[in-house]
Amino acid sequence: MSFGDEPRQAPHSVVALVAVAAVQHPQRDRAGAAHGHAQQLGLAGVKHPAARGHDAIDEHIKAWTVEFEDYALFHLLQGAGIAAAPVVEGSRAFDDPHAVARGLYQPQTMHGGIGPFRFNTPFMRFSETPLTVRQAPVALGEHNDYVYRELLGVDDAEYERLVAAGHISMDLDATIP
C-alpha cells in the first residue's frame, strides 16, 4: 500500500486486490463508515495521512479489508461513494463484468486463419465515433511485399536477392536468442 505525497490526497492503496483512491477526507470517513469502521481504520477526521503515519493507516486498512473478496469490497466502497475498482489479473480480465459490458475485448482471427483470439480494444469510448479493432496484430513479415515493393520501390530481382540473403523473411531466425 502507498500514500500520495500531495497534501490533499488521501491514502490510496491496493487492498484485497481493489484499488482505492479518496481525494478528500470526507471520502475517507465514508470508506470506514461504509462498514462501521471509521474509528477502527483510524481515518475519521484525519486531514492528511502523514498526521497518523502511513504504516499505521496501512495496518488498519489491511486488518479491515482482509475479510473481503475483491468484488465485495469494491461494491461496498463504491456504494459509499469511494472510487474503487477490483485489480483484475490477466487470467480474470476477459470475464470481468465491467470489461465484458464495455466490450473491451474483441475476437480477431490472426494471419493464416489462426484463432480467433480476444484482443483488447481502445479503452476510451466516444459518443459519435465507434472505435473497434479492425485488424488483429500482424504476423512477422506479413506486409513485406507491400513495404518493400510498393513503399520502397524494390524491384523483383532485388527483392528476391534480399529474401535469398535472409534479410527479408516471414520466419523467426532460431539462432537469435
Q: Collapse the DSSP code of 118 into the 3-class scheme (helix H, G, I; strand E, B; otherwise coil) and give the result.
A: strand
- Would you state the pLDDT for residue 123? 81
**Region of poorest pLDDT, from 1-10, 51-60, 61-70, 139-148:** 1-10
Asked whether 136 and 149 are in contact (CB, 8 A), the reply is: no
What pLDDT is attached to residue 29?
56
What confidence tier does 2 reach under pLDDT thresholds 50, 70, 90? Answer: very low
pTM: 0.51
Model confidence pLDDT, tens digit, residues 86-145: 888 878 888 888 888 888 888 888 877 888 888 888 888 888 988 877 777 888 888 999
Domains with residue ranges and CATH for the chain: 2-87 (3.30.1540), 89-137 (no CATH), 138-177 (no CATH)
Do residues 33 and 81 make contact, with C-beta atoms less than 8 angstroms apart?
no
Of the candidates 94, 34, 98, the residue with the CA atom closest to the CA atom of residue 71? 98
17 in Cβ contact with 91 (< 8 Å): no
CA distance 1 to 155: 59
Q: Which band of pLDDT confidence, cut at 50, 70 and 90, is reported for residue 157?
A: very high
Is residue 124 within 8 Å of 151, Cβ to Cβ?
A: no
**Which of 13-17, 24-28, 70-74, 90-94 is predicted least confidently?**
13-17
Q: What is the C-alpha separation between 146 and 144, in angstroms, rounded? A: 6
The stretch 48-66 carries a mean pLDDT of: 68
H or E element in which residue 3 lies: strand 2-3
- Cβ neighbours of residue 114 closer than 8 Å, sequence gap 6 or more: none
